[in-house]
Amino acid sequence: MKRIAIEKSLSNVRSYLEEQGYSVENLENNKEKISSFDAIVVSGQNSNFLGMHDTSTKGTVIYAKGLSPEDIHGQIQNRMK
């Protein structure tokens, strides 16, 4: 199962991704484990979303601003192939 970290403010996206079978966790509660996620979904409101300047992750970072939950799901699928 793919693990997705998501900002708390994106609850509609979280619900949709859970319905699609993803394991979704709050980004704010998992900053120290960020590299263990397959994808990270952020609102795009804050460019320094982890509060750190030197963060790296193997996962895909998706900026949700202007995207529907379906669009975000499509990006996750395309980037994880």
Residues of the chain short of pLDDT 50, as ranges, are 52-54
* Rounded Cα gap, residues 81 and 27, in angstroms: 23
- Looking at residue 51, what DSSP letter applies? S
Q: What is the pLDDT of residue 46?
A: 60
Domain residue limits at 72? 3-79
Please count the structural domains in the chain. 1
Q: What is the pLDDT of residue 57?
A: 60
Q: What is the pLDDT of residue 31?
A: 76
* Rounded Cα gap, residues 13 and 68, in angstroms: 8
Report how far apart, in Å, the C-alpha atoms of 9 and of each of 3, 12, 42, 45, 54 are: 18, 9, 9, 11, 24
